[in-house]
Amino acid sequence: MTMFYVIRHGETEWNGHGNRYCGRTDVPLTTVGKLQAARLGDALAAMRFDAALVSPLQRAQHTALGITQRLGIEMQTDSRLSEIDFGDWEGLTQQEIEHHFAQQWKAWLHDPAHVKAGGSGESAGDVVARIQSVFVENSRDNGESVMVVSHNTAIRLFIAGTLGMPLIHYRKLEFNNAGICMVEMKSAADFKWQLGGYMPTP
């Protein structure tokens, strides 16, 4: 059994103002986001992690640094933990997407498991598969604890997928900036989530 501590990165400008869809655009943390990362380091200072797996995007890496530097552990970047590729929707608000890409948006809401976000991006099924492969590869039988820092939509899709929910319902899950949830993994098909919802607001 391996316990994974799944963390969403701290606030960015696109999260904090208008909630623009931020997939692969490498935006930095805001001042609030940096403080959230520091608070995460404080909150997890007594933890022991055997590994820290982090998306290569700077908002995730800078969030992880608040923890890894405090604990003296090495950060391992993995592109499979990146946010979903939003295709043509990148940088837009939901209202802008609904206006300019109405048919794409309706198709995504109807069947995100197979429809590619933004026409040229990824499907929800693609995201679940790549993230699950990270967890499977890093699962051990000796009770290790692993920190994973990733992104909002990617994490929610993964949670929905491992719970056996139709992926159309991923939007019913909420995960705040700098939030933490835990998942106990016994096998590739056996996930037990502990939804703590911790968010260190400055």
CATH number assigned to the domain comprising residue 62:
3.40.50.1240
Residue 78: C-alpha distances to residues 6, 49, 57, 70, 157 (Å): 14, 17, 10, 21, 18
| Three-class secondary structure of residue 194 per DSSP | strand
Q: How many domains does the chain have?
A: 1
Marked catalytic residue, from 83, 90, 122, 151: 83
Residue 100 to residue 112: CA distance in whole angstroms: 18
Residue 83 catalytic? yes
pLDDT score of 196 more than 70:
no
Closest to 7 in 3D by CA, of 25, 16, 49? 49
Q: What is the pTM of this model?
A: 0.93
Fill in the amino acid letter for 197: G
23-41 mean pLDDT: 94
35-51 mean pLDDT: 91
Pairing assessment for the beta strands 2-8 and 180-187 based on DSSP bridges: antiparallel
Maximum distance among all alpha carbons in the chain? 51
pLDDT score of 198 more than 80:
no
Highest mean pLDDT among 32-41, 68-77, 121-130, 175-184: 121-130
Tell which wins on pLDDT, 15 or 100: 100
Residue 83 to residue 81: CA distance in whole angstroms: 7
**The tokens of 120 are what?**
């040229």
Marked catalytic residue, from 9, 11, 62, 151: 9
Residue 194: pLDDT band (50, 70, 90) is confident
Residue 100 catalytic? no
User: For residue 9, how far is the Cα from the chain centroid?
Assistant: 7
Average pLDDT over the chain reads 92
- Domain containing 161 equals 2-198
